[in-house]
Structure 1
């Protein structure tokens, strides 16, 4: 799905939810931090090893939030 370019930052809006993915600020640990927000409220965050995993987790969260709360 995505290449693992460690400098890549992703900002997307899907179904009204904002996804933000960036390299983990703690470069000793590595990986990627992701978050899902809506209307400036951060709804969920996570830390994973690969960019593909970050995209996948964010999309799963949006699917679950769309079905349950929004």
Structure 2
């Protein structure tokens, strides 16, 4: 957002990026995935879905659905 727009918006605060600080385990995990060198196994590392992310997606998208997929 440019300076003039920020001045017109009362109480505007720059959003936090949520980026991990360098050297932290989160940053190392991010670097391993996003800065991977080219190679035959790069696709495998970049397409991995972590358990916490998968659990959050399942909880969000399965709300209201029956737990069993069996026909009644």
TM-score of Structure 1 vs Structure 2, range by shorter chain: under 0.3
Q: Which has the higher contact order (CA 8 A, sep 6+)?
A: 1
Q: Max radius of gyration: which structure?
A: 2
Q: TM-score, normalised by structure 2?
A: 0.26
Structure (1/2) with the larger helix percentage: 2
